[in-house]
Amino acid sequence: MLRKLLKTIFTLGLIAVLIGGGWLWRDYRAWSAAPLRLAQHELVLNVVLGTSFNQIVSQLRRAHVSNAPRPYWRVLAHEMKVLDGLRAGEYALTPGMTPRRLLDRMAKGLVIQHQFTIIAGWRFADLRQALAKAPLLKPTLAGLSDQQIMERLGHSELNPEGRFLPETYSFIRGQRDIDVLKHSFRAMQSALAAAWQERAGDLPLASTDALLTLASIVEKETGRAVDRDKVAGVFIRRLRMGMKLQTDPTVIYGLGSAFNGNLTRRHLETDTPYNTYTRAGLPPAPIALPSREALLAVVHPAAGDALYFVAKGDGSTEFSARLEDHNRAVQRYQLP
């Protein structure tokens, strides 16, 4: 009798375990396929390097996006074979995202991409200042000279001015500021090489360095994109003729901190390696970061006979072939 009773108890217990197990399994499956609970439209999960799996689950529980038992997360990660393969970084938790989808993104390292924009016409000093103010980048450049930065980029022989392509670059939180420089430096090398390959055959430019330098001048002298090739055409014709470029931005660059914002005749007569009023040809190096469009304008300058131009004050430019016409334009648009 006792044996029969024990057998009945065992059978009932087994049935209860099977029923309970089946319920847990169905509950687990439903949870893994159901959207996370997001009180906000989007939530950011920041997983720092070295965070354990249990700590990740704790972060999710503290954020109130899931109250599932911890074993559910571990079983799911084991099922997906990602238990030891979740990557650090920032992850966007979006409406409709399921636990399975989240672990899949973390296993693939699909982290949030932030953006840093380099502005055409910036000097390298402007670029350094902007990088220093980027809160999500890891600072590594503070205290380094420009030459030391170029050494870290593997190009100690180069002046950094003009060597970084103005574009928008993606990075992840905590990435080093020098990584952005490396990316933009390589991008400029590629853009410069591509522009050089398609240059017109009769350009008075001996090297890609000359192209980069002239493009930086065109960038600083152009108020509207539509005028880039026309401005480039003026400078190309002047170089062919041996005529001085006489461009104010190079003078300002050569003055450095001595320039107070008001360009005077004395400044134009002050000789520096960058003063294109006192010296013929191109300055020794770029004066700013030229855009890809400025590079292409130089290798494909607009045809014509214009040798002069003046800003009209509204962003557009007046071009002239004769000095007397140019002087009249200056009187009209520049002088009170």
Token code pair at residue 88: 């650090």
Contact 193, 318 (CB under 8 A): no
pLDDT, tens only, 115-167: 999 999 999 999 999 999 999 999 999 999 999 999 999 999 999 999 999 99
CATH numbers and ranges of domains, the chain:
33-112 (3.30.1490.480), 114-191 (no CATH), 200-333 (no CATH)
Q: What is the pLDDT of residue 12?
A: 45
Confidence at residue 201, expressed as pLDDT on a 0 to 100 scale: 84
State the pLDDT confidence band at 92, using cuts at 50, 70 and 90. very high
- List, for residues 16-56, the tens digit of each pLDDT value: 444 545 556 788 888 888 898 887 678 899 998 889 999 99
91 vs 43, 85, 110, CA distance in Å? 8, 15, 7
Q: Specify the higher pLDDT residue, 8 or 192.
A: 192
What is the distance between the alpha carbons of residues 315 and 223, in angstroms, rounded to a whole number? 5
Percent of the chain scored above 70 by pLDDT? Answer: 92
Give the percent of the chain with pLDDT over 90. Answer: 71
User: If you average pLDDT over every residue of the chain, what do you get?
Assistant: 90
Strands (E), the chain: 43-47, 89-93, 114-117, 168-171, 308-311, 317-320
Q: What is the pLDDT of residues 52-64, one digit of tens each?
A: 999 999 999 888 8
Q: Are 89 and 56 in contact (CB under 8 A)?
A: no
Render pLDDT for 284-296 as a digit per residue (tens, 0 to 9): 999 999 999 999 9
